[in-house]
Structure 1
Amino acid sequence: MSLDQKTATTVIRTRRDVHALLAEKGSQGAKTKAIIVLALGGIFMDAYDFSSLAFGITAVKEEFGLDPLMTGFVNAAIMVGSVVGAIFGGMLVDRFGRYKLFMADMAFFVVAAIGCALAPNEWVLIFFRFLMGIGVGLDLPVAMAFLAEFSKLRGSGSRSQRVNAWSPAWYIATGFGYLLVLAVFLVLPVAQHDILWRVVVGFGAVPAIIVLLVRRKYMAESPQWLADQGDLRGAVDVMRSHHGLDVELAPDAEDSRTAVRARTGHWRQYGELFAARYRLRTIAALCVSVFSTFGYNAVAYGTPLIIALLFQQGPLVTILSALVINLGFGAAGGLLGVGLVNRVGARRMTIIGFAIQAASLLTLAIVGIPTGALVIISIAMLAAFVFAQAGGPGANLMSYATLSYPTRLRGVGVGFNEAVKRVFSIVSLVFFPVLATSLSTGVFWIVALAPLAGLISLLIIRWDPTGKDVDAEDQLS
């Protein structure tokens, strides 16, 4: 990479020049900010679709006459689909690019949301929840790649901050879902409350349609991915049009299209995640994801079940509590995580978050079934758990999965992490209703083991992806 002194134009000769310039400058253009918003919009849809059935699962259970185990399967269908989507999506996003996969997964969201809303029985609902999960599994590697690769390495608007922004987006979406539940709950006559879950789930098609309508104006392929494919001309074009960078392609630029393409988007890359350089990073990412997600699915995703069944509160208190916990504490914790990650680091924030979560769950276990003022304390502990999740392990699980690997492995890294994480999510979603029914609040003793295990794992593994230039590291090998 060289600088033309007369025009201040940066001349691009190799893919290393592309990675180095983007690490230093990031984006100077408004179009890239639009891409970041659209990528976070994908996260919004992921979260909304995951949580849209959380409150309505009781109504689904009654409408279809489900036992606790079948209820767990309805909950877990989206997770099973996301495992499939993540495994294939992680590979395909590295092979065919971020843009094409992003457009494909939007179609899944539209079809699946409408199918769930119109499901005549539990098996149709399970099928479309599974289809919805495939869309989520495809989307997360794409969205994380966009957030990382359209940002600079350090400073304000860094890759760590923008990747962590997935967390407040997730909780805002979840809170929006409960806000919609509250609005429909208050508007619909009591006799029609049995269709409330259908309205809320079906609404998930709306944001996906909006993204599909505006995609052509703003979306573009990642220049880092293009450079790794040997398409330096395409990378330069996107850097000029979307990043606002004054760059041009050197006449003697390298042509490594064939050599580089052979390294990306193949099944063997999953094995590379456990090569000597990446092994501990992969294990750390898995520990953060698995242990934080197990607790999240049992507690945050199951908040309506906990408040209604274990705390024995009515539907209005359940809706309002879930709304405040997610939209208030979840979004606030996520925004705090975005603001502090550059200074504190992903590892330290995750350790603090796990510690708060363990304390919250142990308090819930000790309190048991709350009465009187203890109801407020118990709901406050749920709020503290979500706040710590949003700013700590919940935010940084994506930092570990996304920023621990170079561009050519990023989709595979996120996809593998998501697939493993969702397998454990399935376990928690299927068996938490069963355990909650049989153990009541004693279930919190079991769930508390997850953040404790996460805390111990990060005290042992000291890798922190914050501010690490993994692309430069990869090009030295």
Structure 2
Amino acid sequence: MAGHNSNAFTDQSPGSRGTSEGNEGSTLPPLTPGPHSRRLGIVAVIATFGGLLFGYDTGVINGALEPMKHDLGLTPLTEGVVTSSLLIGAAAGAMVGGRLSDAYGRRRMIIWLAVLFFFSALGCVVAPNFEVMVVARFFLGLAVGGASVTVPVFLAEISPTERRGALTGFNEVMIVFGQFAAFLVNAIIGNVLSDLEGVWRIMLSVAALPAIVLFFGMLRMPESPRWLLSKGRTEEALAVLRQVRPEARAVAEMDEVRALAKQEEQSKLGSWASLKTPWIRRIVFVGIGLAVAQQLTGINSIMYYGSQLLIEAGFEANAALIANVANGVVSVSAMLVGLKLITIIPRRKLLVGGFIGITTMHLLVGVFSLVLPEGMMRAYVILVLVVLFVACMQATLGLTVWVMLAEIFPLKIRGFAIGLSVLCMWLTNAALSLSFPSLVAGIGISSTFFVFAVLGVLSTIFIATQVPETKGRSLEKLEEDISTGAIFLPSERNSRRR
């Protein structure tokens, strides 16, 4: 999600301390090509169907909501409740998903999530009224939230250091691809079957198909070697590594995996009591601020209500479904650009530049929707500006916020701090999704985007004054600089301190 949301166990997660793409400073044998590479690729593709479902189930409401509101008699308020019920479920799912996967295994958890995805999707399809729809969407949200924390962890733990960033980043790409797929399916079904009563039920039913693939695919996938080792199942862990590594590398990597398992246990030591320490309280505040600021861009309001926004702008309903596909195409393309930008541009500069671009788009949408008369010119101008907003968001904040959440927290509070930040992200997402339809209905498009612009200015100030730079530091150096406060000093003084 852009936002999604999703967890960020990138190549900078525990266990790749001080490295990024590559195996610098390691005595492990090189990662040579072979059948294990193909096996690892298959594991990654199957697991990231969880990300695909995450994206599809959050994006499909975009086109389904307009016909659904007539069949179920939804008001702007109940439209928001239907949309946000999934996000509230996702917050709960993210809270418990990590603990369940720790107890029962990553692979088993993903299989359970596939079952929950399937039956919750069917519940949405057959929902006879608003109340049943909200309950079904809540359970679907539990699956989304569980996937947002379990799939990235599984990928990070089964990937070699050299490929960890690429494979966990692939899950983010699958999430935005799932949203694009939802927009495309909505456009096709909405136009071909526009006269069919209950066409939204067909849109929602498509989500059952990738859930089936995820379920049967994961039955043939291995468990995380780090999780197996944490349970004392050493031989099974080595057998898994032999599937996805060269033989010499698999044997040599066992010692590293043991160290990773110990570090992971350390990362669960944080709790609310940790916040009594001033420097911990400050960096957790920064993490929560990053997570909330990302959502205050309104990106998910566009992903959930884009079709309705375009109808408000002047498009016919079927044309809006087609035009909305542009958001999905641009979202996927910009996310791929973001994967490149984050390797060459300092994190904070990327965030500040992103917020400046996003806020500019918000202002322009507000101005042009106010000054242009209703008609197709106004509709197309707003479409172009919304697409530019999505592009700027996904190429900058979409991935960078998640990477920074994985980097800025010291090991002993990492699990607690990321969990708290992601919870605040989901709750902010839910609050915006609940209020967006009522906001547009009450004050109009222009005023709504002016509100987003004000929030963008405040977020830019927050990033510029409170968020430290993390690029180019090992996780050990980050932890030292955060605990001493050196990371918050101006760059010149900071460089002298180092």
- TM category (shorter chain) comes to 0.7 to 0.9
For 1:103 and 1:435, the matched residues in 2 are separated by 39
For 1:248 and 1:32, the matched residues in 2 are separated by 17
For 2:488, the equivalent position in structure 1 comes to none
Aligned-residue offset at 1:253: 11
For 1:245 and 1:131, the matched residues in 2 are separated by 42
For 2:253 and 2:91, the matched residues in 1 are separated by 43
For 2:290, the equivalent position in structure 1 comes to 288
When the two structures are superposed, what TM-score results if normalisation uses the length of structure 1?
0.83
For 2:69 and 2:260, the matched residues in 1 are separated by 54
> Superposition pairs for residues 317-336 of structure 1, below 5 Å?
317-327=319-329, 329-336=330-337
For 1:443, the equivalent position in structure 2 comes to 448
For residue 438 of structure 2, the aligned residue among 434, 452, 455 is 434
The yes-or-no answer on 1:42 pairing with 2:45 is no
For 2:127, the equivalent position in structure 1 comes to 119
For 1:61 and 1:313, the matched residues in 2 are separated by 18
For 2:201, the equivalent position in structure 1 comes to 198
For 1:365 and 1:469, the matched residues in 2 are separated by 42
Alpha-carbon contact 2:408-2:478 (below 8 Å) kept:
no
Aligned-residue offset at 1:256: 9.5
For 1:233 and 1:129, the matched residues in 2 are separated by 41
For 1:462 and 1:379, the matched residues in 2 are separated by 32
For 2:3, the equivalent position in structure 1 comes to none
For 2:16 and 2:295, the matched residues in 1 are separated by 35
For 2:406, the equivalent position in structure 1 comes to 402
For 2:188 and 2:315, the matched residues in 1 are separated by 19
Deviates more, 1:383-392 or 1:23-32: 23-32
Aligned-residue offset at 1:421: 0.9
Alpha-carbon contact 1:148-1:402 (below 8 Å) kept:
no
For 1:314, the equivalent position in structure 2 comes to 316
Gaps of 5+ in 1: 1-15
For 2:444 and 2:235, the matched residues in 1 are separated by 61
Deviates more, 1:355-364 or 1:269-278: 269-278
Alpha-carbon contact 1:355-1:455 (below 8 Å) kept:
yes
> Superposition pairs for residues 254-273 of structure 1, below 5 Å?
263=266, 269=271, 272=274
For 1:434 and 1:347, the matched residues in 2 are separated by 34
For 1:376 and 1:347, the matched residues in 2 are separated by 33
Alpha-carbon distance change, 19 to 378 in structure 1, aligned in 2, over 3 angstroms: closer
Instruction: Give the length in aligned residue pairs.
Output: 452
For 1:172, the equivalent position in structure 2 comes to 177
The yes-or-no answer on 1:363 pairing with 2:364 is yes
For 2:156 and 2:471, the matched residues in 1 are separated by 12
Alpha-carbon contact 1:141-1:411 (below 8 Å) kept:
no
> Superposition pairs for residues 388-399 of structure 1, below 5 Å?
388-399=392-403
For 1:140, the equivalent position in structure 2 comes to 148
For 2:386, the equivalent position in structure 1 comes to 382
Aligned-residue offset at 1:164: 3.8
Amino acid at match of 2:148: L
Aligned-residue offset at 1:166: 3.9
For 2:495, the equivalent position in structure 1 comes to none
Secondary structure of the 1:191 match is: coil
Alpha-carbon contact 2:18-2:473 (below 8 Å) kept:
no
CA deviations on 1:188-209 (whole Å, 9 max, x unpaired) are 2x431x4221111111111011
Aligned-residue offset at 1:272: 4.9
When the two structures are superposed, what TM-score results if normalisation uses the length of structure 2?
0.79
Alpha-carbon contact 2:89-2:142 (below 8 Å) kept:
yes
> Superposition pairs for residues 2-401 of structure 1, below 5 Å?
24=23, 29-151=37-159, 157=163, 159=165, 161-188=166-193, 190-192=194-196, 194-223=197-226, 225-227=227-229, 233-244=235-246, 246=248, 247-248=250-251, 263=266, 269=271, 272=274, 279-294=281-296, 295-309=298-312, 311-327=313-329, 329-369=330-370, 370=372, 371-401=375-405
Alpha-carbon distance change, 151 to 218 in structure 1, aligned in 2, over 3 angstroms: same
Aligned-residue offset at 1:427: 1.2
Alpha-carbon contact 2:267-2:415 (below 8 Å) kept:
no
For 1:96 and 1:469, the matched residues in 2 are separated by 32
Aligned-residue offset at 1:80: 0.9
CA deviations on 1:142-182 (whole Å, 9 max, x unpaired) are 1222343344556xx452x4444444322221111121112
Aligned-residue offset at 1:249: 6.8
Query: Between the two proteins, what is the percent identity of the paired residues?
Result: 18
Aligned-residue offset at 1:447: 1.5
Aligned-residue offset at 1:404: 4.2
For 1:258 and 1:165, the matched residues in 2 are separated by 24
Amino acid at match of 1:460: T
RMSD: 3.6
Aligned-residue offset at 1:411: 5.5
Alpha-carbon distance change, 183 to 219 in structure 1, aligned in 2, over 3 angstroms: farther
Amino acid at match of 1:366: V
For 1:391 and 1:358, the matched residues in 2 are separated by 15
For 2:8, the equivalent position in structure 1 comes to none
Deviates more, 1:458-467 or 1:402-411: 402-411
